[in-house]
Amino acid sequence: MVDIARRYEVFMVCDEIYGNLVYDTHTTASLSEVIEEAPGMALRGISKETPWPGSRCGWIEVFNQDKLNFKRYVKSIVNARMLEVCSTNLPQYVIPRILGDPRYQANLERRRAMYASRAKEAFDIFSGIDGVIVNQPQGAFYMTVLFEDHVLNDRQTLPVPDTKARRFIEEKIKGVEVDKRFVYYLLGATGICVVPLTGFCCAKKGFRITLLEMDDEKRRWTWHTIARSIKAYSESTSRVAASSGSV
């Protein structure tokens, strides 16, 4: 990618927010290690590797801004930042002490090992389901479950015991993407909330889960419940068809 940027005289923008959450035997490199003389910027922050809710704080690292009039672009970003009214003074004061603490690297290793274990746990559960595709994560703290083509349709349902919730869902699913329809029914039937892939401007149908739940029993219950719900949801079409045929 650096070679492409150099040959076509463009600058690079690299999102490194998960740079310290790559696990197992997989590795990555920061932009600063490979960019050489090409212009570019890396986007960094503490929101993913530091469990501190409400302290979202990020920064950009700029390289070779004297090339390709890149300095003008960087200045426009800095000027736009000056218009922001949200202060991040507290995390800015604390970040050097966190990142510079001798215990920090061990903490990162511990978190990487934890997420790697949960990723395998989730993969083992969801990879055995007919009609879905999953890849075992190699970093970060979420996982995507992708439905194979033609698995979902606009006739499938899950039983929603609460009448008000069922009516609400039946109103909301009109005309929505089929993976969002599944997400609504999953929420109403089980109380579990996942995010549809089409909500990320993606044409593929599926959903995303996180690996963040600290309660081992609750986390496994959640994933097994989703797995059972996928099977029941996909089978509900045949039940509806059979019911319609008998009328």
Q: How far apart are CA 225 and CA 142, in angstroms?
A: 17
Helices (H) and strands (E) in the chain, counts: 8, 7
- Structure confidence by residue, pLDDT tens digits, 83-115: 876 778 888 899 999 999 999 999 999 999 999
- Which segment of 43-47, 142-146, 216-220, 224-228 scores lowest on mean pLDDT? 43-47
Q: What is the pLDDT of residues 37-59, one digit of tens each?
A: 999 999 999 989 888 888 888 89
Distance, CA of 76 to chain centre:
29
Asked whether the predicted pLDDT for residue 127 surpasses 50, the reply is yes
pTM of the model: 0.85
* pLDDT surpasses 50 at 80: yes
**SS3 at position 60:** strand
Quote the DSSP letter at residue 145: E
* 96 contact partners, CB below 8 Å, separation of at least 6: none
Of the candidates 214, 183, 211, the one whose C-alpha atom is nearest the C-alpha of residue 197 is: 183
Domains and their CATH numbers in the chain: 2-101 (3.40.640.10), 117-246 (3.90.1150.10)
Report the pLDDT averaged over residues 208-229: 97
> Which residues is 61 bridged to in the sheet?
42
